[in-house]
Amino acid sequence: MELTGRTALVTGATSGIGREIALQLGRAGAEVIVAGRDAERGARTVAALEEAGAKARFVAADMADLDSVGRLAEEAGDVDILVNNAGIFPFTPTHEQTVPVYDETFQVNVRAAFFLTAAIAPRMAARGAGSVVNISTIATEIGMPGLAVYSATKAAVESLTRTWAAEYGTSGVRVNTVSPGPTLTEGAPIEMVGPIGKTTLLGRHASPGEIAAAVVFLASDRASYITGATLPVDGGRTAA
Ligand SMILES: NC(=O)c1ccc[n+]([C@@H]2O[C@H](COP(=O)([O-])OP(=O)(O)OC[C@H]3O[C@@H](n4cnc5c(N)ncnc54)[C@H](OP(=O)(O)O)[C@@H]3O)[C@@H](O)[C@H]2O)c1
């Protein structure tokens, strides 16, 4: 299996896209560290991974809390693949946006990924290899009402991808972004993704597995000459 011997840390692996990324990385042979706040859902992801024959453990972490992010980086130890997936996506018109929700969205979507990568990427660089995959959204490319703060956080993530690729590339660490279109998850139910799915070139929403497949590809050696890229996995929505 192509990821045998690698350790992967997936944030937000207790639900939706992150859980599917964890499962597919595990099926490809990686040992998976499942991160999230919800220990019960974390245990279910770990059980599914073990059922698939993978080694896995849950580490509880609140990405809105910087101390918790630091503890996660320490408890994870040496990581070969880091997937910055945990995210929140509040729908609020700009003029109704509250400061606490604004702050929390940047804390979870940007600050946590920033300081987790700041802790882990240098350790990958010291070992001469590693892959970081960030998760963005089509909302960075197309204006979507109510998603001002969310799209701004993910635009920051895409920008960080390019900077980190420049900072760590010559040390053997690749950094890329997957930008999903509407994907059916616990956090994004059919009422939300169904109508947007109809506007894609494929005329439907995605399953989490379709997003995870792109993440696993970028994390693997098959993508050995890809870094600094943002890969749309959006049914052609941003090409339309
Ligand atoms: N679904 C879509 O249509 C779509 C489209 C484009 C991009 N995305 C992006 O894909 C990623 C996953 O989305 P999803 O649809 O799978 O969402 P989801 O089902 O709501 O899952 C979100 C995950 O993030 C974790 N999370 C949220 N806040 C956290 C916090 N403060 N600390 C730690 N973990 C936290 C949750 O874990 P706990 O609850 O256990 O903490 C959960 O595992 C997000 O970055 C999202 O922006 C989704």
Delineate the domains of the chain, giving CATH numbers in brackets. 7-231 (3.40.50.720)
- Ligand 1 pocket (Cβ < 6 Å) reads 12, 14-18, 36-38, 41, 61-64, 85-89, 108, 135, 137, 180, 182-183, 185-188, 193
Going by alpha carbons, the residue nearest to atom 45 of ligand 1 is 87
Strands (E), the chain: 7-10, 31-36, 56-60, 81-84, 130-135, 173-180, 230-233
Pick the residue whose CA is nearest to atom 21 on ligand 1.
15
CA–centroid distance, residue 148 to ligand 1 (Å): 17
For the CA of 154, the nearest atom of ligand 1: 47
Structure confidence by residue, pLDDT tens digits, 175-223? 999 999 999 999 999 999 999 999 999 999 999 999 999 999 999 999 9
Helix (H) or strand (E) holding 195: helix 190-198
If DSSP codes are grouped into helix, strand and coil, which group holds residue 66? Answer: helix
The residues assigned a catalytic role are: 150
d(CA 53, CA 68): 29
Beta-bridge mates of residue 35: 59
Going 122 to 60 to 100 to 195, the CA torsion angle's sign is positive
Nearest atom in ligand 1 to 135's CA: 45
Q: From the alpha carbon of 107, which atom of ligand 1 is closest?
A: 31
Measure 87 CA to ligand 1 centroid, in angstroms.
4
- How much is the pLDDT for 86? 98
Most informative mutation of 24, 71, 85 for ligand 1 (most atoms within 8 A of CB): 85
How far apart CA 218 and CA 3 sit, in angstroms, is 12
* pLDDT tens digit sequence for 28-70: 999 999 999 999 999 999 999 999 999 999 999 999 999 999 9
Angle at 73 between CA 212 and CA 102, to 5 degrees: 70
The 10s digit of each residue's pLDDT in 66-110 is 999 999 999 999 999 999 999 999 999 999 999 999 999 999 999
Query: Are 216 and 21 within 8 A, CB to CB?
Result: yes
The pLDDT value recorded for residue 94 is 98
In this predicted model, what pLDDT tens digit does every residue of 189-201 receive, in sequence order?
999 999 999 999 9
Mutate to test the pocket of ligand 1, among 15, 68, 149 (most ligand atoms within 8 A of CB): 15
